């Protein structure tokens, strides 16, 4: 018997929802709050009112893609314009990528729009325009639709009782169940999906999922959560822990014999869901001890020289040259001022010479580095890139003949520039 090794103990019950009565109460409290406090959002109205199931699924899908990495307040206007222009999958399938990029300009993460359109084409051509109805099929059949988006569309549009886990849900669940292990690790993410599937209300799954996300977006926010107003605080282990600590401190203050608060982590470093032993609970952080993330990699630094070429247009108004980026990679297919990525440690004068050489290839005639006027630097943070644009300008006399073998290019007025599919970074430039 001494040879039998003990199996690792499962994580303690405090990290799960194992009491059906508690689950029932949590659902009820959360849904009642959602019914009272939910924000009126255009995609929510469509998810309820739209009788056509394919249109309904499409309407929710568009909103979910736009909401990835973008705030609700920014998305609303884009969403309304998108749905007005392409109210159905069929309409979107017929749009050009240029139109999609133009409407998406400013929303960021541009490949989302392109992928959405490619997927719409697939539904129209390969699935006879019929949206898959379950999370499993949505994820399997639609390019760019991952586990979260599939669960959101299936629960909100088609009433499938399936949970969702996004950034807001991760935060709420980690706090509800004191999960302090790295919340981006696959093991923790798997646990959270299991938990979301247990919790989801079987009769109102779409509302429940939206309620959980709404709670994370408006009450259980990252920095200063409004626990006092929270409809599920009675079910929140992080909140109970803070309350117990407060009670303990006040007992001490009033000279009562202090009872040691019953709030320790599960064990010393061997619970896979507790904070690591090296980074224990920090009382000054309260509920924001959760979630924890492993340190992010710092963004990669890049420098790019860019030149605003200016000429007088036919009515004397200034026009600017923009060129199209390649159809894959960062900012695929968007338009920009002629630009050239630079090595990090180049001297200023060398940067200017390299840009002049690059422009020369564009214009088929010599460009003197001295003629390039340095305007300033613009910093723009893409998801993982810290980009510095070194901006020059060059006024041109007469016309230039652009080499048609190079990327597509065109001259635009300032207004046309703003209406084109250009990135936010280029607008800053």
Return the number of the residue (243 or 354) whose C-beta is nearest ligand SF4: 243
Instruction: Give the CA distances from residue 360 to residues 204, 286, 307, 398, in Å, rounded to whole numbers and listed in that order.
Output: 63, 60, 12, 15
- How far is 197 from 65, CA to CA, in rounded Å? 22
- How far is 172 from 96, CA to CA, in rounded Å? 40
| Stretch touching ligand SF4 by CB under 6 A, among 103-111, 224-232, 269-277, 361-369 | 224-232
The residue behind tokens 């749905």 is: 83
- How far is 126 from 142, CA to CA, in rounded Å? 11
Give the helix ranges, DSSP H, for 201-342. Answer: 205-218, 237-253
Binding mask 164-183 for ligand SF4 (x = CB under 6 A): --------x--xx-------
Any contact of residue 233 with ligand SF4 (CB under 6 A)? yes
Phi-psi region of 186 (alpha: psi -120 to 50; beta: other; left: phi over 0): alpha
Helix axis angle for 42-49 and 53-67, nearest 10°, is 160
- One of 220, 305, 359, 421 touching ligand SF4 (CB under 6 A): 220
- One of 217, 271, 287, 356 touching ligand SF4 (CB under 6 A): 287
To the query of whether residue 64 is one of the catalytic residues in this protein, the response is: yes
- Minimum separation from the CB atom of position 324 to ligand SF4 (A): 46
Q: 280 near 265, Cβ under 8 Å?
A: yes
- One of 219, 305, 331, 391 touching ligand SF4 (CB under 6 A): 219
The catalytic position among 22, 50, 64, 377 is 64
Binding mask 70-109 for ligand SF4 (x = CB under 6 A): ----------------------------------------
- One of 26, 30, 238, 422 touching ligand SF4 (CB under 6 A): 238
| DSSP of 57-73 | HHHHHHHHHHHTTS-HH
| Stretch touching ligand SF4 by CB under 6 A, among 12-20, 34-42, 235-243, 388-396 | 235-243
Instruction: Give the CA distances from residue 419 to residues 106, 335, 427, in Å, rounded to whole numbers and listed in that order.
Output: 11, 11, 11
- Total number of residues binding ligand SF4 (CB under 6 A)? 14
- How far is 380 from 392, CA to CA, in rounded Å? 16
- Minimum separation from the CB atom of position 257 to ligand SF4 (A): 29
Site for ligand SF4, rule CB under 6 A: 172, 175-176, 219-220, 225, 227, 230, 232-233, 236, 238-239, 287
Residues noted as catalytic:
64
């Amino acid at each position: 018997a001494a040879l039998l090794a003990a199996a690792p103990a499962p994580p303690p019950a405090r990290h799960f929802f194992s009491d059906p009565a508690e689950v029932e109460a949590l659902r009820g409290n959360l849904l009642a709050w959602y019914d009272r406090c939910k924000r009126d959002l255009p995609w929510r109205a469509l998810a309820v009112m739209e009788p056509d199931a394919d249109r309904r699924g499409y309407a929710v899908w568009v909103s979910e893609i736009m909401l990835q990495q973008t705030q609700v307040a920014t998305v609303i206007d884009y969403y309304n314009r998108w749905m007005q222009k392409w109210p159905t999958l069929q309409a979107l399938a017929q749009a050009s990528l240029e139109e999609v990029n133009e409407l998406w300009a400013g929303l960021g993460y541009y490949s989302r729009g392109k992928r959405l359109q490619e997927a719409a084409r697939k539904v129209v051509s390969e699935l006879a325009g019929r949206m898959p109805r379950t999370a499993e099929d949505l994820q399997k059949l639609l390019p760019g639709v991952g586990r979260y988006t599939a669960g959101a569309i299936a629960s909100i549009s088609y009433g499938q009782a399936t949970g969702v886990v996004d950034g807001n849900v991760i935060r709420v669940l980690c706090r509800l169940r004191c999960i302090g292990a790295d919340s981006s690790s696959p093991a923790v993410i798997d646990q959270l999906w299991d938990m979301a599937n247990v919790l989801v209300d079987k009769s109102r799954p779409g509302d429940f999922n939206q309620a959980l996300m709404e709670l994370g977006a408006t009450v259980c926010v990252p920095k200063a959560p409004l626990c006092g107003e929270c409809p599920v605080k009675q079910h929140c282990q992080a909140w109970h822990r803070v309350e117990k600590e407060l009670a303990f401190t006040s007992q001490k203050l009033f000279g009562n014999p202090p009872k040691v608060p019953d709030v320790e982590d599960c064990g010393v470093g061997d619970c896979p869901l507790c904070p690591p032993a090296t980074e224990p609970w920090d009382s000054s952080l309260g509920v924001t001890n959760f979630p924890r993330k492993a340190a992010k990699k710092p963004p990669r630094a890049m420098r790019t020289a860019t030149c605003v070429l200016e000429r007088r247009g036919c009515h004397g108004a200034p026009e600017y040259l923009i060129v199209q980026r390649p159809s894959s990679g960062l900012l695929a297919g968007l338009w920009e001022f002629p630009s050239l990525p630079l090595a990090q440690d180049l001297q200023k004068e060398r940067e200017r010479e390299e840009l002049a050489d690059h422009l020369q290839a564009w214009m088929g005639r010599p460009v003197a580095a001295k003629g390039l006027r340095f305007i300033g630097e613009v910093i723009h943070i893409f998801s993982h890139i810290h980009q510095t644009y070194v901006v020059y300008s060059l006024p041109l006399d007469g016309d230039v003949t652009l080499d048609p073998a190079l990327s597509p290019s065109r001259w635009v007025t300032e207004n046309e520039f703003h209406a084109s599919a250009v990135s936010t970074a280029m607008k800053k430039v």
